[in-house]
Structure 1
Amino acid sequence: MNVYPWQDLLSKINPDEVVKVVQDMVRLKSINPPGLEKGMSEYVKNYMISKNIPTETLEFATDRYNVISRLKGKGEENPIIFTGHMDVVPVSKDEEKRWQTDPFGGEIFDGNLHGRGSSDMKAGLGAAMVAMGYLAENGIVPPGDIILVATVDEEALMGGAKSIIKTDVVADAKNVVVCEPTGMELVTCCRGRTWADITVKGLTAHASQKGAGINAIDRTLMLMNKMAGYEIPHQEHPYLGTSFWQITVIKGGVEPAIVPDRCTITVDARLVPGQMPQDIWNLMEQLIAEIKEEVPDFEAEIEILDQREPWVTPADDPMIQKIKGAYEVLSMPYRENGFSGTTDGTIFRRIGMEAVIIGPGDLACVHKENEKVSLEQLAQAVQLYLITMLI
């Protein structure tokens, strides 16, 4: 482990800087959908350039681009990515009524910074930006290159990260630190996710004729009832628990006087390590086949919308050891956990990287009213990221 005068380094960090950065970013309404990340991309790019860190942008779509900054190291170790997404989920009109503050105000009280995206995940992204900026401003050269990757579209189909791995811009990195909210616990394993639209077909008829046509909604209920009595086979994970699926969207019908000939349900599945997304849809095909044995003209189609693999990082991975060392420097108790959602880390793993997740904030308070992040955790994140970059 590289040794630095840690307390001297840490004492010079201005705690107000990261608060201002995160406040600034929360006030930028980078809502997705529809994909309004342009202001955030400009902010991140300009901040990193102001610290004299070489920065480039990669276009994902019109007015939507990823930001990539690379702080050169000594070349003694492999480059490390610190990544965060710039988009946030929308605030509905009903949700806005439940907020105690302006959702995009970035207000501070009770030791927390409040606002949409404060935990998910402008706090983590801002902390990584400030840590890299501190190194650059003070002429501190890390053992290996440090790469900031700020992505668009994570809240939808992770299109920003997917577009990055099609290039070679970060292909030399071996590890990625995802700065998502974990309460500053180190996450070494992550659930997978996959979802699909399943369309059940029927035959239209005039709704005044009893028994006419084939009601696709009734047929869909057959499948839903099959799902309700079925548990996905899996081996329970000590951190991540069980695999499961649920129906999250239903669309059906033409108008009230027509027997519907189509009904579509969206099925969202969450997977523990040891299970792959395609396994889920093979199981769904089995359930459909069982219904067809009872109802020969039953017809359903599966359209897979996205597939994200679960993952586990080996306990002896160098990044885990680096972060353990950072915990020791900060006299923080080492805490390890799993992540119930999915992150861009899944995408970067597809090109051979190992991932961990650690960041300020609480996943339980995101995608809902009164999202917030602890100022204490925000300061800890800057320090922990900084030490991890140097160890």
Structure 2
Amino acid sequence: MHEAVLLLQKLIQIPSTDDNEEQVALLIRDTLAKYDISSKIIKHAPNRCNLIAEIGNPDSTTVLGLTGHLDVVLPGNLQDWQYPPFAAEIHDGRLYGRGAADMKSGVVAMVYAFIGLAAESANLNGRVRLILTFGEETGGQGAHQLMTLHYADDLSGLIVGEPTNAQIVYAHKGSFNYTVTAKGKQVHSSTPELGINAINGLVDFANVEAHLFDDAPADEALGKLAHAITLFHGGEQINNIPSDAYLRGNIRPIPTFNNQAVTDRLTAAISNINANSKATLTLTIDGSFLPVKTNQEAALVKAAQTAVANILHQSTELTIFAGATDASEFVLAPKKFETILLGPGPFEIAHQVDEYVELAQFEAMIAVYQQIAHQFLQ
């Protein structure tokens, strides 16, 4: 069994469900140290940290980033799992567990690709930076910290090891989270005319939101902007007119209708409702992650297509990704760089029970990452 599989099992056995990423990072640090590769742990809070390591010519201006996140989502009802989510059991060539696809397999494949590249770093025509983050599943806090610390400023290319089933992804939508709070006036429910029902203010917004982005132009690759109200809360007692209520929504921006356009549209809608409603609405932006799109003829894309064809012997047709990733934070860096998503495991099984990765694909991805690095750095 490849020692990468053993490390993957150990990482899955650490329940880093939006916490405990430091345990994962320290195990990776110790693994790198066995190969005389130094790494840096960048603390954020107790049990939470990022990991950075770099190899190659420190004077080179060509830098390829390999990035993945160390956290996983909660497993849900344990009784629904056929294979325990933190046992990392292997059955019929598949390794099962929370994070098997999303995305500890991608992380470990990058770690062992990085180890292999380090052994021949003298021949690398550039630098490779391993960038492992905490908190991606709950807002990208780790990537944000590293971006503000300038770890993405000099990147020439970035591979995000999300589960793409070894398909090459050149674009993904952004993610925009917001809260609308409504302020009214509480009174007895028998005299509603004396109060202001905060829920009614949110209903006004919900009715507008349903068609707020109908005219948003679609992107040729990513399609139409997606939007939905996903949480609604109002009222505390059955015989009171509520004075406070709130809702939350999620929007998936696209390059043709980006995050700023979304902000402007929401702001205008809130202003118009406030001018015509008794309740007072307030908009708060909780998270804003940009859409990411790379030219299909970019050097990193071509390198990935060559590696996938040579090693996996499968189609290299490019595709897109529905979710947002840490790349949305890193592309805020001042220098523009090429980005792809490429990793083992099917995206369709991410966040589900009995999440798994095919071990043959996982092990092959190590060689894929290495070949991409060599070609791109040329």
TM-score by length of structure 2 reads 0.92
Task: Name stretches of at least 5 consecutive residues in structure 2 with no aligned partner.
Answer: none
Q: 2:17: which partner in 1?
A: 31
What code does the residue aligned with 1:309 have?
A: L
Alignment of 1:147-162 (within 5 A): 147-162=129-144
What code does the residue aligned with 1:156 have?
A: T
Q: Judging changes above 3 Å, is the alpha-carbon distance between structure 1 residues 106 and 222 closer, same or farther for their aligned structure 2 residues? A: same
Among candidates 200, 220, 245, match of residue 227 of structure 2? 245
Q: Judging changes above 3 Å, is the alpha-carbon distance between structure 1 residues 289 and 66 closer, same or farther for their aligned structure 2 residues? A: closer
Q: Distance in 1 between matches of 2:91 and 2:255?
A: 39
Q: 2:280: which partner in 1?
A: 299
1:77 to partner: Cα distance: 6.5
What code does the residue aligned with 2:161 have?
A: C
Q: 1:46: which partner in 2?
A: 30
What code does the residue aligned with 1:28 have?
A: I
Alignment of 1:2-81 (within 5 A): 16-32=2-18, 35-73=19-57, 78-81=62-65
Alignment of 1:126-205 (within 5 A): 126-137=108-119, 141-205=123-187
1:190-232 alpha-carbon deviations (Å, 9 max, x no partner): 1011111101221101224354412211331222122224444
Q: 2:329: which partner in 1?
A: 347
Alignment of 1:254-333 (within 5 A): 254-292=236-274, 295-330=276-311, 331-333=313-315
CA contact (8 A) 1:114 1:372 kept: yes
Q: Distance in 1 between matches of 2:49 and 2:309?
A: 37
Q: Judging changes above 3 Å, is the alpha-carbon distance between structure 1 residues 136 and 202 closer, same or farther for their aligned structure 2 residues? A: same
Q: Distance in 2 between matches of 1:218 and 1:144?
A: 59
The secondary structure found in structure 1 opposite 2:188 is: coil
Q: Judging changes above 3 Å, is the alpha-carbon distance between structure 1 residues 316 and 57 closer, same or farther for their aligned structure 2 residues? A: same
CA contact (8 A) 1:245 1:268 kept: yes
CA contact (8 A) 2:56 2:118 kept: no
Among candidates 66, 71, 81, match of residue 82 of structure 1? 66
Q: Distance in 1 between matches of 2:305 and 2:131?
A: 23
Q: Distance in 1 between matches of 2:117 and 2:66?
A: 14
Q: Distance in 2 between matches of 1:79 and 1:123?
A: 23
Query: Are 2:101 and 1:119 aligned?
Result: yes
Query: Are 2:369 and 1:385 aligned?
Result: yes
What code does the residue aligned with 2:68 have?
A: G
Percentage of identical aligned residues: 25
Q: Distance in 1 between matches of 2:192 and 2:50?
A: 56
Q: Distance in 2 between matches of 1:347 and 1:180?
A: 15
1:13-47 alpha-carbon deviations (Å, 9 max, x no partner): xx622221211111111111xx2212111111111
Q: Distance in 2 between matches of 1:210 and 1:221?
A: 16
Q: Distance in 2 between matches of 1:130 and 1:264?
A: 46
Task: Name stretches of at least 5 consecutive residues in structure 1 with no aligned partner.
Answer: 1-14
> How many residue pairs get matched?
372
The secondary structure found in structure 1 opposite 2:52 is: strand
The secondary structure found in structure 2 opposite 1:119 is: coil
CA contact (8 A) 1:73 1:146 kept: no
The secondary structure found in structure 1 opposite 2:181 is: strand
